[in-house]
């Protein structure tokens, strides 16, 4: 049995180690899950996703309950491939999706998950606009193809999202490179707002405030567009997401989630400052680098990503990936390059 110490990271260690164990048919024990978090152990979204993956792979989960700091996974032999899950909270749908995405990258098995409940736009996780416009297109370069059909969106605290996502894989055997670029990107803003806030023109006010700062000319774009979507939700909520992109796979995204404590104008200003403070010529933002590491270690050797920095999240995920894949003579190496940037590349252990 493989023993993993998860004390130096968060839920992402579980989202990597569990699919790995099931794919490789290795019994695994994961200890000290989120031990240093304010609420240690498995949270609701972790548990529901793990239970579902175990169900569709005929695997056994031991010690699976909210707050559990130690679990054991006994891989199964049968594969179902589809499931329906129910989320009673505003748990982030994107984090549920990431577990299945990682499993598909490793196993190549097709997946279809119906979900009822949960949040599509919540704090501390990528929202669905980010996933659909940045994560999924970037993973397509590695050969993974995902699709979301959202019937209802959900905000904190009630959630209430409904929909389905499918994931399939067509292996790409090319060397993949996410490098630096000097091509000026385009900018697209996506405002997703509850219909109950439409009379207050929340979406328009966010966009107008952002545009005031954009007109100052500190940040240049080849093209600027926006979409304001008013949708039915169980409780009021607002989200604004900036998508930066160009033909050289430049993919950067930043989001602000509304709350009763901040105005629409505050949201527009905060989004602009996020972009301004993170201006860089590397292809991927730091969040997207983190989300592509599993795909990178499974890609052709010498594929690489240039990262502006190594966040604690990236570092902890690199460590767990290398701990797991070392026995298969694969690893992700890091090389410091110009201007303090980092090259993360897939390598064979000789």
Asked whether residue 219 carries a pLDDT value surpassing 90, the answer given is: no
Residue 8: band (very low, low, confident or very high) from pLDDT cuts 50, 70, 90 = confident
Nearest Cα residue to 111 out of 123, 97, 121, 125:
97
Query: What does the radius of gyration of the chain's CA atoms come to, in whole angstroms?
Result: 20
Nearest to residue 10, comparing CAs of 317, 341, 332, 327?
317
pLDDT at 199 over 80: yes
Q: For residues 40-57, give the mean pLDDT.
A: 96
CATH architecture for the domain at 282-350: Alpha-Beta Complex (3.90)
With residue 106 as reference, give the H or E element that holds it: helix 93-107
* Residue range 13-33: mean pLDDT, rounded: 97
Q: What is the mean pLDDT of residues 71-80?
A: 96
82-94: per-residue pLDDT in tens? 999 999 999 999 9
Q: What is the pLDDT of residue 218?
A: 84
- What residues does each domain of the chain span? 2-172, 186-277, 282-350
Residue 131 carries which DSSP code? I
Statement: residue 34 has pLDDT above 80 = yes
pLDDT score for 248: 83
Token output for 279: 């201006």
For domain 2-172, the CATH architecture is Alpha-beta prism (3.65)
pLDDT of residue 350: 77
CATH of segment(s) 186-277:
3.30.360.20
Quote helix, strand, coil % in the chain, to nearest 5: 35, 30, 35
Nearest alpha carbon to residue 227 among 307, 129, 298: 129
Domains 186-277 and 282-350 in one fold: no
Cβ 115 vs Cβ 128: under 8 Å = no
pLDDT-derived band at 217 (thresholds 50, 70, 90) equals confident
> Which band of pLDDT confidence, cut at 50, 70 and 90, is reported for residue 324?
very high
Q: What is the reported pLDDT for 12?
A: 94
Q: pLDDT tier at 237 (50, 70, 90 boundaries)?
A: very high
- Mean pLDDT, rounded, of the chain: 95
């Amino acid at each position: 049995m493989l023993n993993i110490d998860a004390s130096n990271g968060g839920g992402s260690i579980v989202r990597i180690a569990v699919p790995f164990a099931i794919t490789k048919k290795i019994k695994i024990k994961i200890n000290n899950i989120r031990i240093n978090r304010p609420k240690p152990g498995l949270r609701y979204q972790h548990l529901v996703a793990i239970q579902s993956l175990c169900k569709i792979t005929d695997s056994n989960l031991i010690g699976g309950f909210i707050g559990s700091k130690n679990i054991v996974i006994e891989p199964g032999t049968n594969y179902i491939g589809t499931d329906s899950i129910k989320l009673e909270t505003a748990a982030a749908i994107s984090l549920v999706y990431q577990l299945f995405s990682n499993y598909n990258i490793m196993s190549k098995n097709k997946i279809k998950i119906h979900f009822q409940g949960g949040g599509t736009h919540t704090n501390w996780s990528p929202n669905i606009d980010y996933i659909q416009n940045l994560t999924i297109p970037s993973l397509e370069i590695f050969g993974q193809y995902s699709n979301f059909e959202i019937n209802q969106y959900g905000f904190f605290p009630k959630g209430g999202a409904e929909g389905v996502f499918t994931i399939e894989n067509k292996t790409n055997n090319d060397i993949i490179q996410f490098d630096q670029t000097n091509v000026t990107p385009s900018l697209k803003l996506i405002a997703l707002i509850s219909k109950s806030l439409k009379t207050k023109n929340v979406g328009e006010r966010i966009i107008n405030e952002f545009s005031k700062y954009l007109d100052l000319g500190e940040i240049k774009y080849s093209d600027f567009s926006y979409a304001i979507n008013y949708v039915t939700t169980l409780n009021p909520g607002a989200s604004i997401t900036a998508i930066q992109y160009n033909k050289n796979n430049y993919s950067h995204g930043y989001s602000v989630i509304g709350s009763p404590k901040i105005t629409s104008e505050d949201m527009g200003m905060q989004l602009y400052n996020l972009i301004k403070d993170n201006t860089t010529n590397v292809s991927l933002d730091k969040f997207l680098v983190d989300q592509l590491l599993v795909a990178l270690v499974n890609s052709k050797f010498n594929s690489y990503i240039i990262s502006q920095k190594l966040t604690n999240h990236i570092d902890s995920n690199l460590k767990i990936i290398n701990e797991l894949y070392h026995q298969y003579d694969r690893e992700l190496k890091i090389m410091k390059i110009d201007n303090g940037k980092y090259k993360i590349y897939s390598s064979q252990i000789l």
